[in-house]
A and B are shown apart, each in its own frame.
Chain A
Amino acid sequence: MDESLLNAAMDRYACGDPRAFAALHQALHPRLLAYLTRMSGSPVLADDLLQETFLRMHRARSTFATGGAVIPWAYAIARNVHIDHARAARLRATERLPSDPGSETVDRGGVDAESAAIAAEAARAVERVLARIPASQRDAFVLIRYEGLSVIDAAAILGTTPTAVKLRAFRAYEALRAELEELKREAPARARGRVEGGADGRS
């Protein structure tokens, strides 16, 4: 849906039109779900956080500025929901962990499976780095790289300046790039190990 139409729908919703919710839900659900999954590391938890996000949007609809942009506004609320959840989780002495590296079933039979395994490994490396770097850098990077927001919108969501957001995102990018290059350097050795392991298994 075109962003201006979406903003108009949110304007109508803020003025009390309940029918506008369907359009908002349709457009925002996939984006916010992906964002919350990235932030929380769990699709199941992301579903719960998304329900809470829509509830908060409903309660706060009257605070939506006339002529404002609903996408960054919704992201800001989703981020707050995640922060509140993370704080409560910290109180319960639990913390986010990267995905279990052995949880995926990989078909080791062909070339496609080989590249799929490499892609999965890269994805896990990205998750690991995102879980390790400071939250401010992770927020900036995720909003710009994965959610496709502009630096200005990301800065407004994070309550800081565009320069600061750019710098934080770049720091995250550097950490991710370093990890992926490390992974690339280790890949041939790991592939050799897999081949040798396979040969041993057959003999």
Chain B
Amino acid sequence: MAAPDPFSLDDFASIPDPIGGASTRPTPAPVPPDGASPTRDQRRRRNLIAGGFGVTWVVFLVWRLGVRGNIGDAGLLASLVVWTALTVGGLALALRTNPRGLPQSLRVVQIVLLALASVYVAGVLVRDVTAPNVPIHWSNVIGCLTWAHILALGPLAVAALIFRRSFLSFPAWRGAVVGAACGLGGAIGIHAHCVVETASHVLVAHGLVIVVSALVGAALGARQGRL
């Protein structure tokens, strides 16, 4: 025999409804709200264009900066592919809805956020095993740091537009995931350009943008992300 549920909801009906009559008021005639509102197809097209712009922004800037000479190296390519897959997959997982069309729980969003950061760091540390230990210096960092942020700026601006007033719950956390994904885009872009493999350089000069973008995403989400 199953044990009785200590948190049974069966007795909830014994609690009276303080406003029992409110729902019996007559429903007024429907007045459709004014104002432009995109349809599902229009939004899909807009998102496709915006996503394409974000990717093009990163690819174009990396092409202008110059792709690093050893881009064909198997280990490097593997890192870039894993990070790209992580960005796309993580974003899809965090933003997809459940079968009832409602958003994922906060726990899923937090796990994705943690995964984005930790897989990036793990990738850097694995690559660093064979790299020479070059001490970190401000002059070596500032260039990559700046370009990483510029690379992330395009996707971030596009995301701010796409996800404005679109999160049903926890807009700051969901904004943080979107921001981190944009930051990861910037980190991938600068990593495809810069040849320095030292963990300290890659983590700070290439990776700091993930943290900054996540914070910007969280702030934007909290401010204008709530639906």
Contacts and interface: CB of A to CB of B under 8 A. Distances in A.
A15 B39 contact: yes
B35 interface: yes
B169 A25 contact: no
Nearest to B20: A123
Interface string A49-69: 000001110111111111111
A170 B7 contact: yes
Nearest to B169: A159
Contacts of B73: none
Contacts of B165: 56, 59-60
A84 interface: yes
Contact of A37 (B12, B22, B101, B169): B22
A63 B166 CA distance: 7
B40 A15 contact: yes
Contacts of B23: 30-31, 33-34
Nearest to A56: B227
A76 B102 contact: yes
Contacts, number: 163
Given A69-B102, A145-B13, A58 B37 contact: yes
Indicate the member of B20, B38, B100, B226 with the most A CB atoms within 10 Å: B100
What is the predominant secondary structure among interface residues of chain B facing chain A?
A: loop
A33 B98 CA distance: 26
A11 B101 CA distance: 11
Chain B residues touching A, range: 35 or more
A32 B40 CA distance: 24
Contacts of B20: 123
Interface string B75-100: 00000000000000000000001111
B25 interface: yes
A161 B227 contact: no
A73 B168 contact: yes
A141 B7 CA distance: 13
A170 B11 CA distance: 10
A66 B97 CA distance: 10
A61 to B, nearest CB: 6
Interface string B166-182: 10111000000000000
A166 B39 contact: no
B139 interface: no
Contacts of A29: 27-28, 30
Interface residues of A, number: 69
Contacts of A8: none
Given A15-B39, A161-B107, A65 B97 contact: yes
A21 B16 contact: no
A8 B33 CA distance: 20
Contact of A77 (B19, B33, B168): B168
Contacts of B101: 64-69, 72-73
A171 to B, nearest CB: 9
Given A84-B226, A170-B7, A173-B12, A155 B19 contact: no
B32 A18 contact: yes
8 contacts: A15-B41, A30-B24, A33-B25, A59-B37, A65-B101, A126-B15, A145-B12, A156-B102
4 nearest A-B residue pairs (beta carbon):
A68-B101, A159-B169, A156-B102, A65-B101
Given A145-B13, A157-B168, A161-B107, 13 more contacts: A15-B41, A25-B30, A29-B30, A55-B35, A58-B33, A65-B97, A73-B102, A80-B227, A123-B19, A126-B18, A159-B168, A160-B107, A170-B7
Interface of B: 7, 9, 11-20, 22-25, 27-28, 30, 32-33, 35, 37-43, 97-103, 105-107, 165-166, 168-170, 226-227
